[in-house]
Every structure is written in structure tokens, then in C-alpha cells.
Amino acid sequence: MSHRLAFRSLFASTRRHALATSRFGSSLAPTYYYDDLVYLVKQGCVTQGRFTPLYNARGARRFVARQLEIGRDCVGALRDYPSLRIDPLEWHYACLLSLRVLDEALITDLIRGPWWVETVWASFLALLDPRPGFAEPLEAVSGDWLVDAALAEIRGEAPAPELREFVEATRALREVLAQAPNRPASLRRMPTPEQRAQLDRERDAVRRAYCEDGVAAARALLPGTVSQTYLSWTYPEWVQATR
């Protein structure tokens, strides 16, 4: 990342952090860094510049059936992931990444996010990997068809008749995705109070240097800051840097 972009990101990261934490009280503080959640949701819910049709049952049934067909046709390539990546499996790779970092905290963070698309992705992930611990956060938003389908799968209940084909296709997709190697993955956690305090100090120091001595002086302070080495990275950059 260039110094100029890192300089801008030093302040942008602070604003993103404030946005992500201001929606929750201390007892409901999110576990994972919000930018990473956005990355997961975008990868899973946007394909070829369009939202995936997971919002309505008919569109979701067709979409998942098609992805199941693609996965079965390309299962050989899926077994070679991540050393081999092919375009038709990009959405499957998005599912795999989310499934590898999936836990109760992630489901909860997504459901408590500001956009419904986050709940959509949380519900679909719970349908792909139904665990008892996911029921409680999902029950808080029950009443939506996809949420209720995930809850039924978690409880071992039969899906609604109109959702049977969709749920069966999702179960089959689960088996296809299981053909990929199980590689560990992780997400960044929200900054600790100590990191937030350090970020505030760095922000103030950079701003002061910029006002008093100009851009060059501000840039000189950026290497090694919390913002540059942690908060300013995109999720893929963070993964690459911390391998």
C-alpha cells in the first residue's frame, strides 16, 4: 500500500471502527473486525457485480441448484483448491472461506450488522453447516424464510414443502464443498482497547505532523503504526501478510 493510501486509511480505519462499534453496547460488542465481515458477505452475496438471488425462495432454489451442478462438474478442481482456482468455482470458494471461519460469534456479528444482506449470508451459512449454537442468534430474526429454513435444519425438522428442493440442494452442496481440502482460516478480531488507544495516538501524531511539517513528515510516521500494519489492510492483504 502506498504511503498516501496508508495516510488516508489511518483516518478511514478510525471512522470504520467507530461505525462498527457505535451500534452495540459493551455487552454486544462485535467479535470480528467489521471490514472482514463485509469482505465475506460481498464474496458470498455478490457475483459478477450482481447480488446473488438468496433473498427469495424461488431465485435461491434456482441459484443453489445451478451452483450444485457446477460444483459437481468441477469437483476435480475443487479437490485441488487452493493450488488451483477456476472462475466457475469463485462462489464455491467464497462459501469455503466463510465456512472455515464460521462460529457462533460470526453468526451473531453478521445478524447484528446494519444490513439485511448480512443476515441473509449468516442464515445460508447456518443452513450449510447447521450447529445447535447458531439457533439462538437466528431466533432473534426469525420470520424470514431463509432464517426459518436454517432453524429447521438445525433442529432436525422437515423444511416447509415449498423449500424442500432448496434445502435438499443445499445439503447436496454441503457434500460437494466437503471435497475441498480443509485449510485453516481466521478473521481479525475487533481492536482491543489498547489498540484503539494506540490508534488514537497515532492518528493525532500523524495529523499534528501533517499540519506542522507537511505530508513528508506525516508519511515518515506511518511505518509500524497499528493502522498501517493491521487496520489499514484489506482482509486478503492481512491474510497474505500474516501467513
Q: pLDDT for 134-173, tens place per residue? A: 999 999 999 999 999 999 999 999 999 999 999 999 999 9
Q: pLDDT digits over 27-41, tens only? A: 468 999 999 999 999
Q: Do residues 85 and 114 share a domain?
A: yes
Q: Do residues 168 and 208 share a domain?
A: no
Q: Taking a C-beta distance cutoff of 8 angstroms, is the pair 110, 129 a contact? A: no
Q: Do residues 59 and 150 share a domain?
A: yes
Average pLDDT, the chain: 87
Q: Do residues 157 and 211 share a domain?
A: no
Q: pLDDT digits over 44-94, tens only? A: 998 777 888 998 999 999 999 999 999 999 999 999 999 999 999 999 999
First to last CA, the chain: 18
Residue 97 lies in a domain: yes
CA angle 190, 191, 195 (to 5 degrees): 175
Grid coordinates representing 156 are 432436525
Number of domains composing the chain: 2
Describe the chain by its helix, strand, coil percentages, rounded to 5: 70, 5, 30
Residue 76 lies in a domain: yes
Interatomic CA distance for residues 72 and 90, integer angstroms: 14
Interatomic CA distance for residues 233 and 210, integer angstroms: 22
Closest listed residue to residue 81, CA positions, set 90, 73, 72:
90
Q: Do residues 86 and 166 share a domain?
A: yes
Contacts of residue 125, defined as CB under 8 A and 6 or more positions apart, other chains included, come to 44, 95, 98, 99, 102, 106, 107
Q: Do residues 155 and 228 share a domain?
A: no
Q: Which residues pair with residue 201 across a beta bridge?
A: none
Residue 26 lies in a domain: no
Interatomic CA distance for residues 26 and 205, integer angstroms: 28
Q: Taking a C-beta distance cutoff of 8 angstroms, is the pair 177, 71 a contact? A: yes
Residue 24 lies in a domain: no
Q: Do residues 143 and 36 share a domain?
A: yes
Q: Do residues 210 and 99 share a domain?
A: no
Strands 50-51 and 46-47: antiparallel
Q: Do residues 12 and 67 share a domain?
A: no
Q: Taking a C-beta distance cutoff of 8 angstroms, is the pair 232, 1 a contact? A: yes
Residue 184 lies in a domain: no
Residue 142 lies in a domain: yes
Domain C-terminal end among 150, 177, 204? 177
Q: Taking a C-beta distance cutoff of 8 angstroms, is the pair 13, 227 a contact? A: yes
CA angle 31, 207, 229 (to 5 degrees): 40
Q: Taking a C-beta distance cutoff of 8 angstroms, is the pair 139, 151 a contact? A: yes
Q: Give the position of cell 448480512.
A: 118
Q: pLDDT digits over 194-222, tens only? A: 988 998 898 899 899 999 999 999 888 88
Residue 23 lies in a domain: no
Closest listed residue to residue 57, CA positions, set 134, 164, 135:
164
Q: Do residues 147 and 220 share a domain?
A: no
Predicted local distance difference test score (pLDDT) of residue 84: 94
Grid coordinates representing 71 are 460444483
Q: Do residues 119 and 75 share a domain?
A: yes
Q: Do residues 139 and 80 share a domain?
A: yes
Residue 107 lies in a domain: yes
Interatomic CA distance for residues 96 and 161, integer angstroms: 28
Task: Write out the residue range of the structural domain in which residue 92 sits.
Answer: 31-177
